[in-house]
Amino acid sequence: MTAGVASGLAALSMSAAAKAEEGTKSEAGGKFKLKYAPHFGMFAQHAGNDAIDQIKFMSDQGFRAVFDNGIQGRSVAEQEAIARELERLGMDLGPFVSYADFGVKSFVTQDPEIRKMLIQKTKDAVEAAQRLRAKWTLMVPGHYDDHLEWDYQTANVIENLRYCVEVCEPTGLVIVLEPLNAWTDHPGLFLTKIPQAYQICRAVNSPCCKIINDLYHQQITEGNLIPNIDRAWSEIGAFHIGDNPGRKEPTTGEINYKNVFKHIYEKGYEGVLCMEHGKSKEGKEGEKALIDAYRYCDSF
């Protein structure tokens, strides 16, 4: 090989390496494959406390959605401003909480006053969702009744949900039911498992009643995440994310989120995955580590 040819090949090799590096940087700064949704305040060290500035920062980092459990409590003017900015940037709003009273026996009862309250909560959620251009609202069926056979409670939950979805169906707002773990965070709740939620959604039999699969909670309650995702797929409307133990960003615990995200992506999921967790580090360093963790898990 002549010196000239060797020099030329080396130059080509360097050029290819530079292009590869450039492509990696481009991919790293682009939009995420899935709609991971940070919550307000997650990037306050970088973006400040203004909700609109935070949305812009999230979009600049490649996020395609936002979530705020308590957005219904914000002023109408702020809700409308958030909705406009999300629409401008082509971002989705994840499920917001419309009912989640953990200490009350609510959906499990046949109490007419409680049913009236649940219907009103649903009407309020529909009104807010129309302002927010939201697709999902989250409900937790509340505490179980230790004086009533479990199957009767299940039947009551189904019946109460049918009243609620009647309110939702004209606009298409989807109620997502969240099973929560009883071992670490929320003892005493009626809804704890994905198969249980699947059974209820199938019985309600409405496109406006689905499951929000919180992978943190379900890793604690039952594990078997991917098989349960597959078995309940027709009834899953959204996801919550958090690693276990610690409920921090992916890569800080035992869940192989890279494989889980790859599986969800390959199933064609186009909904939101709400980042309902804390950060393993404080300050700007912690915010950057969080983004890096999602970049890694999204690089399947």
pLDDT of residue 14: 39
Confidence of residue 26 (pLDDT cuts 50, 70, 90): very low
How are beta strands 236-241 and 92-93 bridged, if at all?
unpaired
pLDDT digits (tens, 9 = 90+) for 153-182: 999 999 999 999 999 999 999 999 999 999
Give me the catalytic one of 85, 178, 249, 287. Answer: 178
51, 82 in Cβ contact below 8 A?
yes
pTM (whole model) above 0.95: no
One domain, residues 159 and 226: yes
Burial class (CB within 10 angstroms; exposed 0-12, middle 13-18, buried 19+) of 52 = middle
Same domain, 288 and 179: yes
Q: Residues 47, 95: one domain?
A: yes
Based on the domain organization, do 133 and 13 belong to the same domain?
Answer: no
At residue 298, what is the residue type? D
Looking at 169-282, list the stretches that DSSP marks H as alpha helix, in order from N- to C-terminal side. Answer: 194-204, 215-221, 225-231, 257-266
Q: Provide the β-strand partners of residue 64.
A: none
Pick from 26-30, 31-35, 196-200, 277-281: least confident: 26-30
Cα distance from N-terminal residue to C-terminal residue, the chain: 40
CATH code at position 216 = 3.20.20.150
Contact between 186 and 213 (Cβ < 8 Å): no
**CB of 117 closer than 8 Å to CB of 162:** no
Q: Pick the more confident residue, 114 or 19.
A: 114
Residue 21 appears among annotated catalytic residues? no
User: Which token pair is 5?
Assistant: 């040819």
pLDDT at site 191: 98
For the chain, helix (H) and strand (E) counts, in that order, are: 11, 9
Give me the mean pLDDT over the 183-187 stretch: 97
Q: In this predicted structure, what is the pLDDT of residue 28? A: 55
Residues 117 and 262 in one domain: yes
Query: Which pLDDT score, from 0 to 100, does residue 4 have?
Result: 43
Q: Give the number of domains in the chain.
A: 2
Same domain, 189 and 69: yes
* 60 and 153 together in one domain: yes
Residue 185 sits at φ, ψ, to 5 deg, of -120, -40
Domain identity same for 9 and 151: no
- pLDDT tens across 118-151, in order? 999 999 999 999 999 999 999 999 999 999 999 9
Residue 142 DSSP symbol? B
Cβ 214 vs Cβ 236: under 8 Å: no
Average pLDDT in the chain: 92
Task: Of 4-13, 70-79, 191-200, 214-223, give the lowest mean pLDDT range.
Answer: 4-13
CA distances from 210 to 41, 83, 137, 202, 205 (A): 28, 23, 10, 9, 9
> Are residues 218 and 232 located together in one domain of the fold?
yes
35 and 2 within one domain: no
85, 235, 276, 287: which is the annotated catalytic residue?
Answer: 276
Q: Are residues 208 and 287 in the same domain?
A: yes
Lowest mean pLDDT among 5-9, 65-69, 130-134: 5-9
Structure-token match 């797929």, residue found:
233
List, for residues 27-37, the tens digit of each pLDDT value: 456 999 999 99
Both tokens of 98, joined, read 């419309």
Domain shared by 73 and 7, yes or no? no
Question: 17: pLDDT confidence band, cut at 50, 70 and 90?
Answer: very low
Reading phi first (left if > 0) and then psi (alpha if -120 to 50, else beta), residue 179 is in: beta
Q: Is the pLDDT of residue 240 over 70?
A: yes
Closest CA to 270 of 224, 243, 245, 239: 239
* Catalytic residue flag (residue 276): yes
Q: How far is residue 142's CA from residue 104's CA, in Å, rounded to a whole number?
A: 6
Expressed as residue numbers, the domain containing 255 is 31-297
Asked if residue 237 has pLDDT above 90, the reply is yes
Is 98 in a helix, a strand, or coil? Answer: strand
Of 59, 70, 6, 3, the C-alpha closest to 36 is 59
| Band of pLDDT at residue 89, cut at 50, 70 and 90 | very high
Least confident of 5-9, 63-67, 193-197, 233-237: 5-9
